[in-house]
């Protein structure tokens, strides 16, 4: 039996298309997202554009559960979107991910955070 997802979820790719530890850029219904596979069956999705400047976070480096912006080094928590320190001060939007039967589905509705994310 296949789990039911709400209509905000979009089929993006197969899990095997994502290498562990290597961020990938995806267009999810017109939203640029950085997809990050951090473990065999764990994928995170955040808005691809750094909240400090127009830089692609999918070109950054993974460090634990943070994604480091390559330009000035702010590190965004992949679960909360919150930057660990300046120059970025605003969190990036975080999107729910569901892995079903080896396929990665991402919602276009961001997870609510305590601060207003860029979306």
**Contact set for ligand FES, span 57-76 (CB under 6 A):** 69, 71-72, 74
User: 12, 88, 93, 94: which one contacts ligand FES (CB under 6 A)?
Assistant: 88
Query: Is residue 38 classed exposed, middle or buried when 0-12, 13-18 and 19+ CB atoms within 10 A define those classes?
Result: middle
Which range in 5-13, 15-23, 32-40, 51-59 contacts ligand FES by CB under 6 A?
A: 51-59
Cβ count near 119 (within 10 Å): 12
By CB under 6 A, is residue 32 in contact with ligand FES? no
What are the phi and psi torsion angles at 40 (to 5°)?
-50, -40
Structure tokens at 63: 């460090």
Residues that bind ligand FES (CB under 6 A): 50, 52-53, 55, 69, 71-72, 74, 87-88
């Amino acid at each position: 039996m296949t789990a039911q997802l709400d209509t905000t979820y979009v089929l993006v790719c197969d899990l095997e298309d994502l290498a562990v530890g290597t961020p990938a850029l995806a267009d999810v219904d017109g939203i640029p997202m950085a997809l990050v596979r951090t473990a065999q069956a764990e994928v995170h999705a955040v808005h691809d554009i750094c909240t400090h400047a127009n830089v692609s976070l999918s070109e950054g480096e993974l460090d634990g559960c943070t994604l480091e912006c390559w330009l000035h080094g702010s590190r965004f928590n992949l679960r909360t979107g919150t930057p660990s320190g300046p120059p970025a001060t605003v969190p990036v939007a975080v999107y729910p991910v569901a892995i079903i039967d080896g396929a990665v589905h991402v919602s276009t509705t961001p997870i609510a955070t305590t601060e207003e994310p860029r979306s």
